[in-house]
């Protein structure tokens, strides 16, 4: 399969969620071709990357463009092989939560639901501790990283590689979508906030992995409640975390 074939297949996978036309200019561009060439050349040299190609844009496949409300930006995918699934912090392939996701769940339990987490609601047909975050994406939460891939065992290795894509995406959203809620988790993501105009909402928090240096506790600044307060005011609904 050629690089062009991969570009076209990834583009086609985004048609159903409405992102195909929005990202087409980048996906079929020389910039994306260069990213794919780099990933291919690295693999030829024995360097593995994660997630696999077919999962690169799964966050967009699961979060319909028409439902988009929240954009969460972390750093880069889990560096272990076979864990990252294309939705940031999600662990659907292993069904075993990684430390960062565990800290997120603990913070949601502490600030949103309290001791009754998961909520006792017969209408909720989902496990609130499920490490597959597709359920958040389906509600309009675009779960991203500043880099869409990472070399296995080498955290932060592809941050620069994906800068053209992150720039394209945030520029597009800033131009055509107002009133979105942007969540910047950690310093790597927070450098991008200046691209977002003031007709949107911005939330800042440390990366959940920072809990390792704070006695295992991640203090999000009541992030999940604050997001829902704005969503209820803007859309009359909130995210079921």
Residues annotated as part of the active site: 76
Torsion sign, CA atoms 196, 200, 203, 207: negative
Cα–Cα distance for residue pair 147/84, rounded to 1 Å: 12
Lateral strand order in the sheet of 70-74: 141-145, 70-74, 181-185, 201-205
């Amino acid at each position: 399969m050629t690089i062009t074939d991969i570009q076209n297949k990834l583009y086609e996978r985004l048609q159903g969620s409405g992102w195909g036309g929005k990202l087409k200019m980048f996906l079929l561009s020389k910039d994306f071709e260069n990213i794919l060439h780099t990933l291919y050349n690295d693999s030829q040299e024995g360097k593995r990357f994660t997630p696999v190609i077919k999962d690169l844009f799964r966050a967009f496949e699961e979060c319909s463009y028409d439902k988009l409300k929240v954009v969460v930006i972390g750093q880069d995918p889990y560096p272990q092989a076979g864990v990252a699934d294309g939705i940031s912090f999600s662990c659907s392939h292993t069904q075993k939560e990684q430390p960062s996701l565990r800290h997120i769940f603990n913070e949601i339990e502490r600030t949103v639901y309290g001791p009754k987490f998961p909520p006792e609601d017969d209408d909720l047909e989902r496990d609130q501790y499920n490490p597959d975050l597709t359920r958040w994406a389906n509600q309009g939460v675009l779960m991203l990283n500043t880099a869409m891939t990472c070399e296995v065992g080498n955290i932060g290795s592809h941050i620069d590689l994906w800068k053209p894509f992150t720039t394209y995406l945030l520029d597009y959203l800033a131009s055509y979508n107002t009133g979105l809620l942007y969540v910047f988790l950690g310093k790597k993501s927070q450098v991008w906030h200046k691209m977002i105009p003031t007709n949107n909402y911005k939330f800042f928090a440390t990366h959940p992995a920072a809990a390792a240096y704070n006695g295992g506790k991640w203090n999000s600044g009541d992030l999940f409640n604050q997001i829902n307060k704005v969503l209820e005011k803007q859309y009359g609904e909130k995210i079921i975390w």
